[in-house]
């Protein structure tokens, strides 16, 4: 079950989105303030984030910047939403998708599933490439030591 962290201070929106995502088999963690997002993210390790632009204590773009600066969340999918069209700004700081409010909540499961699937595939490819590189390096090290013993 994928876990989504919602960073939004609008209780009604959070309740609606939480209920909808839970009905679609997502686990949901809610954070009402941007300043709480990093600690909660480290504790919960979500598979994706849904971050509102207008938060009481900071802009959502600042939260995204903080997440992207942390290696644990540098590649974690992030969806940003706002009543204003700030798509360019959101994508520039690292959001994967921007949604203008009001958006269709029915689109979220597909968006999150697609983003998580792509992120998992990229992570798996990176692990496979790292393993392959390590094998090549150890093979080269064996060749080097056998060449050295011949001289």
Question: Is the preceding peptide bond at 7 cis, omega within 30 degrees of 0?
Answer: no
CA–CA gap between residue 21 and residue 125 (Å, rounded): 28
pTM for this entry: 0.82
Span 7-40, pLDDT tens digits: 999 999 999 999 999 999 999 999 999 999 999 9
CA–CA gap between residue 8 and residue 64 (Å, rounded): 13
**Share in percent of the chain as helix, strand, coil (round to 5):** 60, 15, 25
Position 18 scores a pLDDT of 97
> What is the average pLDDT score of the chain?
87
Q: Which of 21, 90, 24 is nearest to 52 (CA)?
A: 90
CATH class of the domain defined by 3-124: alpha beta
Span 49-61, pLDDT tens digits: 999 999 999 999 9
Domain residue extents for the chain: 3-124
- Which token pair is 144? 């080097």
């Amino acid at each position: 079950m994928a876990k989504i962290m919602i960073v939004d201070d609008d209780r009604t929106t959070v309740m609606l989105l939480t209920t909808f995502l839970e009905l679609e088999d997502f686990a949901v963690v809610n954070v009402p303030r941007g300043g709480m997002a990093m600690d909660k993210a480290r504790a919960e390790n979500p598979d994706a984030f849904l971050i509102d632009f207008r938060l009481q204590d900071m802009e959502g773009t600042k939260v995204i910047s903080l997440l992207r600066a942390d290696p644990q969340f540098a590649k974690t999918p992030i969806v940003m939403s706002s009543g204003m069209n700030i798509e360019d700004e959101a994508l520039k700081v690292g959001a994967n998708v921007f949604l203008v409010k009001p958006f269709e909540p029915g689109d979220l499961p597909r968006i999150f599933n697609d983003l998580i699937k792509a992120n998992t595939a990229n992570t798996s490819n990176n692990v496979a490439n790292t393993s392959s590189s390590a094998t090549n390096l150890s093979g080269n090290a064996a060749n080097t030591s056998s060449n050295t013993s011949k001289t």
